[in-house]
Amino acid sequence: MSDWQHSTGLDETERLVVEFADAMSRTPVNVDDDLRQRVAARFSPGQVVELSHAIAWEHARARFNRALGIESDGFSDE
């Protein structure tokens, strides 16, 4: 997914979601007003909350696993 901006496998909405997840993944988190407005224009307030929660939860889970030394089960080569 390193070249998600140019992926032909993603539609416009999927690219927006990955862009939002990418911004939420930065340290510190950096979701600018433009991106926030584009997400709000595409999704309902409830959907934005759910999307944000899912992204944040995956980060929490990943940090938890790393803190305890839990590694991948090897289902993916990536």
Residues 6+ away with beta carbon under 8 Å from 75: none
pLDDT in tens, 8-38: 788 999 999 999 999 998 989 989 999 999 9
Degrees, nearest 5: CA angle 44-27-57: 50
What is d(CA 46, CA 3) in angstroms, rounded to the nearest whole number?
29
**Which one, of 72, 62, 68, lies nearest residue 27 by Cα?**
62
Statement: the pTM of the whole predicted model exceeds 0.75: yes
pLDDT in tens, 40-50: 999 999 999 99
Report residue 72 CA to chain centroid gap.
Answer: 19
